[in-house]
């Protein structure tokens, strides 16, 4: 599903730090926990997989599509990837339900996935709100009125709606308390055990989450070690 080959990347602001991944293979349906200290480049690796950052050299392929190449499109990412950004990237003037259903406005494929279940986009948004503990009274509120933890749950629901093939999550539980962290992880695990089997790459500092994943990989000083790395 995700294949990285001979990748190099460095930051313009800090050329002394670089990421080098000779080979990293993640199989379809795998759930991978990517760990490492702050500043090790974990978020950048997710951006490279999403095609939001471009490597200096090497290839990043997701589902047979080369996201590192010049032909990569935002539409392909909208169709096939659900992303939980570290800073959420919610649309401030939209309410909770409109933020969650936004991917269905941008992707016919994800909208068709919802329609195939017999649900409407709004009903599916309510479903994910129920699963993630977003109270009914908040669902028509502007997201700017929400707490950090509530906003994070909205971002998670937005990533999951429409069943994209790949979920990329950048510290999605960092602003959640223990109960809501467990609720989210149980929801993600349940989603991955049914007919929907997304490939998940999940960045977290919390080593206690490793029980929810099929594999754990560590990134330290731009060097990967662990599952799928040769």
Long-range contacts of 180-189 (CB under 8 A, 24+ apart): 180/132, 180/133, 180/149, 180/153, 181/206, 181/209, 183/131, 183/132, 183/133, 184/132, 184/153, 184/156, 185/209, 185/212, 187/131, 187/132, 188/31, 188/160, 188/212
Tell whether pTM > 0.75: yes
Lookup: tokens for 10: 């460095």
CATH of the domain at 58: 3.40.50.300
Domain count, the chain: 1
Q: Tens digit of pLDDT for each residue in 124-171?
A: 999 999 988 899 999 999 998 898 888 888 998 999 999 999 999 998
What's the pLDDT at 108? Answer: 96
Q: Which has more confidence, 14 or 204?
A: 204
Q: Say whether pLDDT at 230 is over 60.
A: no
**Domain boundaries, position 74:** 2-226
Position 6 confidence tier, pLDDT thresholds 50, 70, 90:
very high
């Amino acid at each position: 599903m995700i294949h990285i080959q001979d990748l190099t990347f460095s930051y313009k602001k800090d050329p002394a730090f670089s990421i080098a991944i000779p080979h990293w293979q993640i199989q379809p349906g795998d759930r991978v926990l990517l760990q490492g200290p702050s500043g090790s480049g974990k978020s950048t690796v997710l951006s490279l997989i999403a095609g939001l950052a471009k490597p200096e050299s090497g290839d990043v392929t997701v589902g047979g599509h080369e996201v590192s190449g010049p032909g990569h499109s935002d539409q392909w990412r909208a169709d096939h990837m659900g992303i939980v950004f570290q800073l959420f990237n919610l649309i401030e003037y939209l309410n909770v339900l409109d933020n969650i259903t936004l991917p269905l406005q941008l992707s016919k494929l994800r909208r068709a996935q919802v329609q195939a279940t017999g649900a409407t986009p709004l009903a599916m948004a309510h479903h994910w709100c129920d699963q993630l503990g977003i109270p009914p009274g908040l669902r028509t509120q502007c997201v700017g009125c929400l707490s950090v933890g509530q906003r994070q749950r909205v971002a998670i629901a937005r990533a999951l709606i429409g069943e994209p093939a790949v979920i990329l999550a950048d510290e999605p539980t960092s602003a959640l308390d223990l109960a809501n962290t467990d609720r989210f992880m149980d929801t993600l695990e349940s989603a991955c055990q049914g007919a929907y089997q997304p490939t998940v790459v999940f960045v977290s500092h919390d080593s206690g989450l490793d029980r929810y994943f099929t594999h754990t990989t560590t990134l330290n000083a731009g060097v990967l070690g662990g599952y799928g790395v040769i």
